[in-house]
Amino acid sequence: MKNRYIASSQPVLESPLVDVIKPLNDLMPIFPADSLLNKVFRFIEANYNQPISLSDVAIAVGYCAAYLTDLVRRNTGHTVNDWIAERRMVAARALLLETNQSVNQIAEAIGYQYVSHFFRQFRQYHGTTPQIWRKTQRS
């Protein structure tokens, strides 16, 4: 297993399935270049595959949640939770294309505690279910 370090420099063990996900540098860049928010985006990148919340991000970057919400929305037009979901969708698409793992395994690997929440968000972002998206993309 690989170690990944979060803001407090404590190692976080990853599952072997997460190793399949390419680092964001190898994928299309999704985070805007904003030096004021670099810490926020680095934290999301390092931890998107775990259950994280706005509160977790705020604590990691040293802001209160309300201030962070306002700061991110003013600078990007999106919320912290939008950015977490977007990063998870990038990872989900990569895993759906590059592995034969079940949707349940993928949902867990990218930080969703509830598969139903992953299904809802995937459908909201892509207009279809993960299984149909995978089938369509592979054909």
Enumerate the β-bridge partners of residue 4.
12
More confident position, 56 or 21:
56
Q: Residues 101-129: pLDDT tens digits?
A: 999 999 999 999 999 999 999 999 999 99
Cβ-in-10-Å burial (0-12, 13-18, 19+) of 8 comes to: exposed
pLDDT band of 1, cuts 50, 70, 90:
very low
Enumerate the β-bridge partners of residue 11.
5
- Cβ contacts of residue 88 below 8 Å, gap of 6+? 48, 49, 110, 111, 112, 121
Q: Residues 25-72: pLDDT tens digits?
A: 444 477 777 677 999 999 999 999 999 999 999 999 999 999 999 999
pLDDT, residue 34, reads 66
pLDDT value at 11 more than 60: no
**What residue ranges do the domains of the chain occupy?**
35-138
Provide mean pLDDT across the span 78-83. 95
- What is the architecture, at CATH level 2, of domain 35-138? Orthogonal Bundle (1.10)
